[in-house]
Chains A and B, each alone.
Chain A
Amino acid sequence: MAETHSLQDLRQQPAVAAKVFLQRDYTHGTMCQFQTKFPSELETRIDKQQFEETVRTLNNLYTEAEKLGSQSLIEGCLACLTAYTVFLCMETHYEKVLKKIAKFIQEQNDKIYAPRGLLLTDPIERGLRVYEAGSQTFQLVTTKSRVPETLYLD
């Protein structure tokens, strides 16, 4: 049973995964914006300019989602006239931009962050409270293509 004992030990070891949280920036009100301050924990992992560029693009996307433009006004007025029942059938402007944001984060993870052993979590999964960058090496080996064949040899 020595092997199972060591496997149990592995499970009891604390996860090495480290997480860095980027908090919201409220200087311009309750609009969803994240602080662009570069966390010191990531200094050795990623270029500062790159990270700040990612956060800036993200902030711009959220500004676009929450913008009080003509599209959102027309949407709002139409919704009001129909007793807001259009929200049941139609995808709102905000939801469309959220999909864009999810795609953007996926791209950034694939191109820039995953090769460096980092993973960005979409802020919507954390209630738009924080922007999480995690060092989660195990994420790199969970894909089926990376499962080594020797695992299953008899």
Chain B
Amino acid sequence: MKNCEYQQIDPQREEPRRPRRKWEVFPGKNRFYCDGRIIVARQGGVLPLTLGLILVTCGLFFVFDCPFLVKHLTSCIPFIGGGLFVFVVITLLQTSFTDPGILPRATPDEAAEIEKQIDTTGNSSYRPPPRTKEVVINQQVVKLKYCFTCKMFRPPRTSHCSLCDNCVERFDHHCPWVGNCVGKRNYRFFYTFIVSLSFLTAFIFGCVTTHLSLRAQGGKGLVFALQESPVELVICFFSVWSILGLSGFHTYLVASNLTTNEDIKGSWSGKGGEDVTNPYSHKNIFINCCAVLCGPMPPSLIDRRGFLPSDESVQTASVDIELPTQATKSEINVVGGSSQLAFGLQESPSPIPAPLNSHQTRSSA
């Protein structure tokens, strides 16, 4: 039997490749934990500080205030406090670790198609044509901007977060306190977090004030009582107003189906004398609230834990097919499916490409 001429295969390629998950090659500035189950922004922001403040304040409350109040008031106090505390921590972690609604970047084919569409409508001058597209949504003209990073026209209400380097659907804002963007998928967690946090801080503030007033009445004076729990009081006093204010603001946004981004930019406030209304609002406060908070939970579009398609293995398989010896027959059988990809790229009706046939006859001679 005539010896075949073998092409050197890179020995490293012969090792079986561990199938990689999509989060390992994610282009945005995010970090992943637990094999892609948890996603956070690259900059952790002040999430540890937020958690720390909540834990410290609640810890001091349970240690210093609860015993006194249980004795002098009611024993429900620690249970209510505990329940609120658990609720706050869970919603905070969910806000921080959930995909906010990141849009995956356009595939090369899609990007080429969009570029083609833009070029045919634009002129051939040196200046690139403006990359906006107008659509009509519920009788309102909305401009869609082209995202140069993600290579696509952003859907309505989508914005590109420069900190995370991702386009996020229904982008509200990037919150450094939770260390993540707030968007379509985690807005309800964020809203529940700030509302429950306002209840918690108001509750602790109320308890601490009650504790202090009861102690002051006890005869030793207000100043002495204040010395015992200054930290909680300070934290609660400053946070209760800001958190309550934030909750109120977001309640307004939820009721009118707006995002912080749209509110700040004044997209629908009718500036410039034009008659603009929010095209996404259901014109009913109750329906708006239901839609935003209790609506169906959209899926994550980035498929973090999915496996990468074996495009790399296709290239190596097409190298393998050049060694059709008996010893490697079983190997070819295994990669037979994907190796066909290399040959099926031409529009031949027969599945056997001509060059391979001649190669076979040569080796069998």
A interface list, Cβ under 8 A from B: 1, 3-4, 6-7, 10-11, 13, 15-17, 19, 21, 24, 26-30, 65-68, 72-73, 75-77, 79-80, 83-85, 87, 92-95, 98, 124-130, 132, 137-138, 140-144, 146-148, 150-154
Contact = CB atoms under 8 A, between A and B. Distances in A.
Interface of B: 5, 7, 86-87, 90-91, 94, 103-104, 106-107, 109-110, 113, 135-138, 142, 152, 155-157, 169-170, 188-189, 192, 279-280, 287, 290-291, 293-299, 301-303, 315, 318, 321-322, 324, 326, 329, 332-333, 336-338, 340-347, 351-353, 355-360, 362-364
A114 B307 CA distance: 25
B296 A30 contact: no
21 contacts: A3-B358, A4-B322, A7-B355, A11-B342, A13-B345, A13-B346, A26-B137, A27-B137, A27-B138, A30-B169, A68-B295, A73-B294, A84-B189, A92-B299, A126-B110, A128-B301, A129-B152, A138-B344, A141-B340, A152-B333, A154-B326
A83 B192 contact: yes
Given A76-B295, A92-B299, A126-B110, 15 more contacts: A21-B109, A21-B113, A27-B137, A28-B137, A29-B138, A66-B296, A68-B296, A75-B296, A83-B192, A126-B107, A129-B110, A129-B155, A138-B340, A141-B340, A142-B340
Contacts of B329: 152
Nearest to A97: B296
B155 A98 contact: no
A13 B356 CA distance: 16
Contact of B279 (A29, A65, A76, A140): A29
B13 to A, nearest CB: 15
A16 to B, nearest CB: 5
A127 B351 contact: no
Contacts of A73: 290, 294
Contacts of B356: 7, 151
Contact of B155 (A11, A26, A77, A148): A26
Contact of B360 (A27, A77, A153): A153
A132 B345 CA distance: 19
Nearest to B170: A30
Contact of B351 (A94, A146, A152): A146
A13 B348 CA distance: 14
B91 A83 contact: yes
B339 to A, nearest CB: 9
A146 B337 CA distance: 9
Q: Which 9 A-B pairs have the closest CB atoms?
A: A76-B294, A138-B344, A3-B359, A127-B104, A83-B90, A127-B301, A72-B296, A6-B355, A94-B296
A144 B337 contact: yes
A10 B342 contact: yes
Contacts of A19: 109, 113
A152 B157 contact: no
Given A4-B7, A7-B355, A11-B342, A26 B156 contact: yes
A94 B341 contact: no
Contacts of A29: 137-138, 156, 279-280
